[in-house]
Structure 1
């Protein structure tokens, strides 16, 4: 990590266990503003536990989390969202029978703390904002279609677009390419990263994403953190982490020579 950058989020000595299973063991991670950080590891390694602790869905047994100088460890997910942390899910959280635009409007009004968008005379400015966001993701043509009619990759993009309605400082994406075909994975990530960059207001949006596809990791991450058995086993550039022998043994399942890793 570039130490000259401003630290947006600092996690210190996070621990979490489920009975005898250690999901997080003394996790300490600093995330700088503007980073594109990827979390890798096998299922059960601790990646999602870390994301859930940052977003408030799971409380650490010990340790603390500081966002922009404020301790958010004990805050509820909604309060953490209001302070600038948003997330998408591995399985998109969408209202399947509602049109695409209405899903986005619901998310926008929730981010504003409003109870409902289903009222007479819709807020024209809200509709305009949502249509612009759909356009950034290439989804404007689907605005009036029910979500249930959309393919999986389009639903993924909508879920991420909804996470951006609150203009977050930190965006956490849980496996953004899962369920997306091999032919569409790069196009999907290109769309996501371009839309995020275009949506930045002042400070850039910091992105943390969980990913199993090493092609995606190498192409889109500026930094990679590898988890194994609830602990961090490597932290650095994509090339250095993917060349690490522990990462190759416990995460990628393949041993590559330094020359192959560099290539």
Structure 2
């Protein structure tokens, strides 16, 4: 579905991408792990048009996408969510969902009612899929972090992507909520047939939900394979996971 070849990007003397080769297969959930500064978010930013590599190529469904603006990439079928939820804080959750639907169909006009019947119905159904129907009328800034993450990803799903890239979907979510949040988003994405790539620091989440794991280290892919194999690798445990392998809280950033 997605093919990256020879991606290189440096910021000064720091190599954020140092020859990245990666294929994403249709229908899979691919986790990207690695220490802070390894280039994980840089890869997502290059794939979604926010950064352009100095060398290399990216193809989506067999067509090159490098050089396209983020909006054009979204229209091709690639969505993303950010580490910090990108919600309109002063609007309700329902209005946020309706805004995403309006963006998908290309309607942006102050003369057009946002919550027209068709938009409202689709927005309500979308929120119900994420278990957010109970907070539909709440302002986005009143939600807890788990609900904010789900609402943010619901907005991305409203754009009907076939591939969704998520940057730390559990970042900031309370430990007691984390598995429930990921279970919900994985269920919704699999039901919709969406392929997913997600950056994650919680190795329990990776072990439970990833089909494959790509290990980033200093702008390179150190290892790639099924989670059981990768998370048991002594080099990965020592150099990448570090204290996380011993069950300590992972670092975020």
* TM-score interval, smaller chain: over 0.9
Structure 1 position 40, deviation (Å): 0.1
Structure 1 position 194, deviation (Å): 1.1
Summarize the Cα distance change of 1:117–1:126 in structure 2 as closer, same or farther, 3 Å threshold. farther
Matched, 1:86 2:61: no
Structure 1 segment 187-198 matched on structure 2, within 5 A: 187-198=180-191
Matched, 1:140 2:133: yes
Q: Does the CA-based 8 Å contact 2:99-2:114 persist in structure 1?
A: no
| Higher share of residues assigned helix | 2
- TM-score, normalised to structure 2's length? 0.93
Structure 1 unaligned regions, length at least 5: 1-7, 257-263
Q: Post-superposition, which runs of at least 4 consecutive aligned residues in structure 1 deviate over 2 A? A: 116-123
Matched, 1:218 2:207: yes
DSSP-derived class of the 1:164 partner: helix
CA distance in 2, matches of 1:71, 1:147: 36
Which of 98, 101, 107 is 1:108 aligned to? Answer: 101
CA distance in 2, matches of 1:190, 1:168: 19
DSSP-derived class of the 1:17 partner: strand
Structure 1 position 249, deviation (Å): 2.0
2:251: which partner in 1? Answer: none
DSSP-derived class of the 2:176 partner: coil
CA distance in 2, matches of 1:134, 1:118: 25
Superimposed CA distance per residue, residues 42-87 of structure 1 (whole angstroms, 9 cap, x where no aligned partner): 1100110001111111101110100011100110100000000001
Q: Does the CA-based 8 Å contact 1:109-1:117 persist in structure 2?
A: no
DSSP-derived class of the 1:159 partner: helix
CA distance in 2, matches of 1:19, 1:112: 40
Matched, 1:99 2:92: yes
Structure 2 unaligned regions, length at least 5: 246-253
1:207: which partner in 2? Answer: 196
Which of 230, 236, 239 is 1:247 aligned to? Answer: 236
CA distance in 1, matches of 2:226, 2:96: 37
- TM-score, normalised to structure 1's length? 0.90
Q: Does the CA-based 8 Å contact 2:189-2:195 persist in structure 1?
A: no
1:260: which partner in 2? Answer: none
1:165: which partner in 2? Answer: 158
CA distance in 2, matches of 1:80, 1:117: 26
CA distance in 2, matches of 1:197, 1:116: 33
CA distance in 2, matches of 1:244, 1:118: 58
Summarize the Cα distance change of 1:120–1:105 in structure 2 as closer, same or farther, 3 Å threshold. closer
